[in-house]
Chains A and B, each alone.
Chain A
Amino acid sequence: MVDITWNDLEVSSRSVVMQAAKQFAETLGDTPQFREFEQSYFGFRQDVEAQNAIREFQQKQASLKALLMLNAVSEEDRQELQRLQDRFYQQPSALRYTKAQEELVAISQEIGDLLSKAIGLDYGATCKTGGCCG
């Protein structure tokens, strides 16, 4: 390890950093974007029609997985998959949730950039664990 003695006044202790993290999370959790994200998520989860629409789309997609990877889906199946996807995206609760997620991601990316600049490491990439898609 680097053998160095820091001036205690200049060092942020672990508890101070964790307190700043807590304060940050509370502030982000209080933003209109986060509140809308949470509310739209619960709305989406409770919307039976939207849940059926996404389930049907995902089931169809899973059943065609191998063919999709080989780009060998029949025109009929492709149209059916598109129809199910369109039906899902037309659900008002799904639209609201997708829009809320986009807006939360937009401000989170800006904040992530600010944090990365401050610490000299890519915040999002550095916090990624478990392989390339973890």
Chain B
Amino acid sequence: MTAPPALLEARHVVQEFAVRDSGGVRGGVVQAVSDVSFEVRPGETLGIVGETGSGKTTLARSVLQAPRPKSGQVLFQGTDLVRLRRRKLLEIRRHLQMVFQDPFGSLDPMWRVSQIVEEPLIAYQIGSSAQRKQRVAEVLDLVGLDPGRYGARRPRELSGGQCQRVAIARAVALAPALIICDEAVSSLDTLIQAQVLNLFERLRGELGLSYLFIAHDLALVKQVSDRVAVMYLGKLCEVGPADSIYREPFHPYTRALIDSIPIPDPAAAPARPAERIRGEPPSPISPPSGCRFRTRCPRAAERCALDEPQLRALADDHLVACHFPLIPQEGRHAAAGADGATARRDLRADTRAGANDGGGRV
């Protein structure tokens, strides 16, 4: 790959947690993140999608060294954070900020908005009190909250979208290089979500920010990201440019994620239910041998259980970890969509007619 040097680079990051059964007996090890490598280039948004328990939040926290990963390297502007002492780490962390999912839970309910936004500036002893006040007003203005009107309010006097704006103002107050958004818009209503996403997009342009954007909604991640990484049970299964991941997904899991998204157009409803994956992810305490997705994969063969697939490039900048990747012709979403929708509506009409004939019910 010929790419500019990375802003953030994770190399073979591993994070594990011991779980204990009743009585404190060691019950097993949750392999939350297993050998994950990725990079975020300057000015880029890297999206990470995956289901609950796929390890996306653990990965984000490992990047911030909270807690430090079991092994691997996290390079930020060339410095390995894993090896840094606490004080050095704190210095670097001001360039790495995070926005969390729950807008109410991540703000102190007793504090006023201006105090919340000022806190990181105090923590890093930046400027005089007057300069800090000015910076607070600046960033509140930047996120679309009038400092005079909202500065003295407490979180409970704000709506969810406004709280999330405060959290974003707090994150940008220190002028970071990278913001990690962990499901930052998932709990917001559609319209508010769109407003906050537009705000992220505007700040990206105005402040030259990079984002590590973590969410479970592939459509959302795709729209905000330059590149997307798909995570399953602690491993990355596909990484590539956002457009090609959606247009030509190579991994069967990515395909399944795309097919599960409800599309707001009945004429182009998702593909046939038969193509959907069944069941739920296995436990990360004892992940399947070989490919971790094989227990739910429609293409799984003997080799998948024996041999763990490694990420390899199948197209320009587009990596996949699969022994039997989908060939591009099969991955065309638009072509499959229309037929699938018709087939499904017919199927539903048939079952309904059948039920009426059989049961004689209304």
Bound pair (A, B): no
Query: Residues of B with Cβ closer than 8 Å to A?
Result: none
Query: Residues of A with Cβ closer than 8 Å to B?
Result: none
